Amino acid sequence: MAKEKRSKAESMIFEQVLLFGMGVIIFVACFSAFSIYQSYFSAVSSNDQIEQVRDILVSSIMKLSQKGYEMESTIELDLPRTIDGKAYIIELNDESFTIALQGTKPIEKTSVFFNIGQSELLLSGRVISTSDSVLIYKKENEIIMV
């Protein structure tokens, strides 16, 4: 009888340990799945926000480039200070336009101005997103971003 009770007790303890182990495995699997989804959707969100900032800046620069060489004009933009909680750098030069998201996994998007690059306009400027606003001005044949 004592051996039978002992084996029942061992069996119950083994079942409880096995049940606890299965709970831990399910918890770890769920945590991993949600972490993967969170990082994926965070990357997609960052990419979309970078594209929106790029579109706003490109359209503003295109508007300025279509004004005559004699005209001086200025556009002030209030852009988000951070994208996905990280600062970003906007750089403009004659060949391209770049937005670089800072952080552990830096993301960089570069765009090329097809119509402007062939014209006589000179493009320049570098802005960090933590500034209050972005000022883009055109003076003669130059477009400068500050």
Give residue 74's region: left, alpha or beta (phi > 0; psi -120 to 50).
beta
The number of helices, as runs of H, and strands, as runs of E, in the chain is: 2, 7
How far apart CA 94 and CA 83 sit, in angstroms, is 25
> Please, what is the end-to-end C-alpha distance for the chain in angstroms?
88
Centroid of chain to Cα 115: 27
Domain hosting residue 82, numbered range: 2-145
Number of domains in the chain: 1
pLDDT in tens, 76-112: 999 999 998 899 999 998 888 899 998 877 888 888 8
pLDDT in tens, 16-35: 999 999 999 999 999 999 99
Across the chain, mean pLDDT equals 88
Measuring CA to CA, how many Å separate 129 from each of 13, 35, 76, 116, 126? 59, 28, 14, 24, 10
pLDDT at res. 117: 54
Q: Mean pLDDT over residues 105-134, rounded?
A: 82
pLDDT in tens, 53-65: 999 998 898 888 8
